[in-house]
Amino acid sequence: MKTIILAGGMGTRLSEETSSRPKPMVEVAGWPILVHVMSIYAHYGHKDFVIACGYKSEVIKRYFNEIQILGSDFTIDLTTGEKTILQPHAFDWRVSCVFTGHDTMTGGRIKRLKDLIGNETFFVTYGDGVGNVDIEKLLKFHKSHGKLCTVTAVTPAGRFGSLKIEGGQVTEFAEKVDGQRTWINGGFFAFEPGMIDYISGDPMPLEDEPLTRLAEDGELMAFQHNGFWHPVDTLRDLNHLNALWASGKAPWRLPRWPF
């Protein structure tokens, strides 16, 4: 299965960190938050990634082109340029970096990847949020209900949109609420290829018409996650995740972690 990582936004609310790099490349514990997200999936054996790049895509492409060197000890002969890896890195991943447009919205980025996705079930998530989501339980739940889409629903303090859930099915998708604690869209989606037909093109956010229509059609189910989930939207969020890591209590760091 492929895991699509949406990593094309500008991250304007984190402008202190994103003037020179995309938000998913902002670092927690010295590693891009994007790599943290990918490590969650890799822990469960899902290591075939497609990164939907946009703003400053060259930063992401350069990073993964060089990650073998960045993540390993090596010797270099400065006369010949020959490199010898002394201790191979732990990233046994397959990573496709695809430019999906500078101004393309989240839904449009998925639609642009239609040919790469093919006819198989696929994951989608954001490149700027981590959680101790059980990816295998998510996939099992998705396969059990036979609908086009599963969204992982989480319950942080209310500053996000809400999901109305009845019997596991999302009956209403609203992107903004008045601040009460509620179930919200936490990303970590499982999709069938047929959901792409709900996306009209580049200007369409996934969180707008596509998910709203899927909910109306009874094709959107919720995998309810009661554990840790946290996005990186602001400098305060970034500092919080770095503090959790430094304390040795980062809930999203799973046993088979590559760093």
233 backbone dihedrals φ, ψ, rounded to 5°: -105, -30
Q: Residue 74: pLDDT above 90?
A: no
What is the secondary structure of 73-126 as a DSSP string? Answer: EEEE-TTT--EEEEE--S---EEEEEE--SS--HHHHHHHTHHHHTTS-EEEEE
Question: What is the rounded distance in angstroms from the CA atom of residue 116 to the CA atom of residue 96?
Answer: 10
In a domain, 255, yes or no: no
Q: Residue 144: pLDDT above 90?
A: yes
In a domain, 75, yes or no: yes
In a domain, 41, yes or no: yes
Indicate the number of domains in the chain.
1
Q: Residue 163: pLDDT above 80?
A: no
Which is higher by pLDDT, 164 or 116?
Answer: 116
Token pair in block for residue 185: 């869209």
DSSP element (H, E) containing 32: strand 31-32
Which is higher by pLDDT, 259 or 180?
Answer: 259
Q: What is the pLDDT of residue 214?
A: 96
In a domain, 106, yes or no: yes
Query: pLDDT band for position 206 (50/70/90)?
Result: very high
In a domain, 259, yes or no: no
Name the one residue in this structure whose structure tokens are 């492409």. 61
Question: What is the rounded distance in angstroms from the CA atom of residue 104 to the CA atom of residue 13?
Answer: 18
Straight-line distance from the first to the last Cα atom of the chain, in angstroms, rounded to the nearest whole number: 23
Token pair in block for residue 230: 């946290």
Query: pLDDT band for position 240 (50/70/90)?
Result: very high
SS3 10: coil
Q: Which domain holds residue 64?
A: 2-245
Q: What is the pLDDT of residue 161?
A: 61
> Which CATH number belongs to the domain containing residue 232 in this structure?
3.90.550.10
Helix axes 135-145, 33-43, angle to 10 degrees: 70
CB 28 within 8 A of CB 238: yes
In a domain, 45, yes or no: yes
Per-residue pLDDT tens over the stretch 2-46: 999 999 987 766 766 677 788 999 999 999 999 999 999 999 999
What is the reported pTM? Answer: 0.87
Which is higher by pLDDT, 232 or 11?
Answer: 232
In a domain, 251, yes or no: no
Handedness of CA 246, 248, 251, 257 (dihedral sign): positive
Q: What is the pLDDT of residue 179?
A: 47
In a domain, 252, yes or no: no
Query: pLDDT band for position 182 (50/70/90)?
Result: confident
> To the nearest whole percent, how much of the chain has pLDDT over 90?
70
